[in-house]
């Protein structure tokens, strides 16, 4: 699946997005955050406060307990500050 | 059907209202809200708005559809800019049209409250001294403003 990052999540990870292949035991958005955090220092820094991180699956807001199965694109970003 | 636009260029609120009401005789109330970039007491040189292309349009369309379901609206326009903007420049426009003012006022407020907390946009500060400032933090106040709509 494709992962995309925005705002300070993007800055900390150092890329706008990437193709990721989480193992089968990573079932939810929250578990995916945990799995990504272990990929390296920059990921650990971006996801150091997982509760703050907002997520979207295929461009729809989701909570961390939602299953990622079937999603083509996952996005991680801080709370939004538009308007 | 709401008009939703995500664009780098500026917008003209008067032109949007004119387009919305042209040839109509059923609209009794139009409310417009324009959000502008503040200088924050002179420390801010610009705000840079990052957005999630694709989702931004879809999310604002979902919010507009929700507003149209809750209030009897005859028109909705929501325009949100992205990119770098200087203090005084426009950032966001919401226009609501209805037969009566209450629906237009309430729907405009609802749209802005939802936009601020659900539309995937993020503001980064650029400071007058040339340094790159912080990402603007989300405000609890904005979350509470949204929650009142249930």
Task: For residue A77, give the nearest of B58, B92, B120 by CB distance.
Answer: B120
| A vs B: CB pairs below 8 A | 72
Res B149: pLDDT: 84
d(CA B89, CA B72): 31
Give chain A's domains with CATH numbers: 2-77 (3.10.20.30)
* Sheet with B3-7, side-by-side order of all strands: B3-7, B73-81, B90-98, B29-36
- Assess if CATH 3.90.1170.40 describes domain B3-147: yes
Task: For residue B122, give the nearest of A59, A60, A81 by CB distance.
Answer: A81
Residues of B in contact with A77 (CB under 8 A): 52, 120, 122
Give domain limits for chain B: 3-147
Q: Is A80 near chain B, with CB under 8 Å?
A: yes
Residues 58-77 of A with CB under 8 A from B: 59-61, 75, 77
Yes or no: say if B9 and B80 are a contact pair by the CB < 8 Å rule.
Answer: no
Residues of B in contact with A56 (CB under 8 A): 52, 55, 120
* Close Cβ partners of A5 (under 8 Å, ≥ 6 residues apart): A13, A15, A16, A17, A46, A75, A76, A77
The nearest alpha carbon in chain A to B109 belongs to A83
The nearest alpha carbon in chain A to B34 belongs to A83
Res B41: pLDDT: 87
Largest CA distance in chain A: 38
In this prediction, residue B40 has a pLDDT band, given cuts at 50, 70 and 90, of: confident
Q: Do B117 and A77 touch (CB under 8 A)?
A: no
**What is the mean pLDDT of the segment spanning A59-73?**
97
d(CA B30, CA B95): 7
pTM more than 0.90: yes
Condensed to tens digits (0 to 9), the pLDDT of residues B78-117 reads 999 999 999 999 999 999 999 999 999 999 999 999 999 9
Two tokens, residue A62: 């989701």
Res A22: pLDDT: 97
In this prediction, residue B27 has a pLDDT band, given cuts at 50, 70 and 90, of: very high
The nearest alpha carbon in chain A to B33 belongs to A83
Torsion angles phi and psi, residue A24, rounded to 5: -60, -25
Yes or no: say if B4 and B60 are a contact pair by the CB < 8 Å rule.
Answer: yes
């Amino acid at each position: 699946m494709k992962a995309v990052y925005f705002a300070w999540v993007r800055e900390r990870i150092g890329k706008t997005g990437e193709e990721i292949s989480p193992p089968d035991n990573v079932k939810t958005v929250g578990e995916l955050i945990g799995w990504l955090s272990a990929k390296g220092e920059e990921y650990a820094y971006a996801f150091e406060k997982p509760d703050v991180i907002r997520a979207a699956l295929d461009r729809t807001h989701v909570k961390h307990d939602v299953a990622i199965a079937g999603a083509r694109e996952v996005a991680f970003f801080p709370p939004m500050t538009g308007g | 059907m709401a008009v939703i636009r995500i664009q780098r260029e500026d917008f003209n609120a008067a032109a949007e209202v004119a387009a919305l009401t042209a040839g109509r005789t059923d609209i009794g109330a139009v409310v417009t809200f324009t959000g502008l970039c503040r200088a924050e007491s002179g420390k801010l040189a610009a705000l840079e708005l990052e957005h999630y292309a694709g989702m931004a349009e879809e999310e604002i369309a979902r919010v507009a559809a929700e507003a149209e379901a809750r209030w009897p609206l005859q028109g909705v326009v929501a325009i949100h800019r992205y990119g770098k903007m200087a203090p005084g420049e426009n950032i966001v426009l919401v226009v609501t049209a209805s037969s009566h003012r209450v629906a237009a006022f309430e729907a405009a407020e609802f749209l802005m409250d939802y936009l601020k907390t659900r539309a995937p946009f993020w503001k980064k500060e650029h400071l007058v001294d040339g340094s790159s400032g912080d990402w603007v933090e989300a405000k609890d106040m904005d979350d509470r403003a949204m929650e009142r709509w249930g």
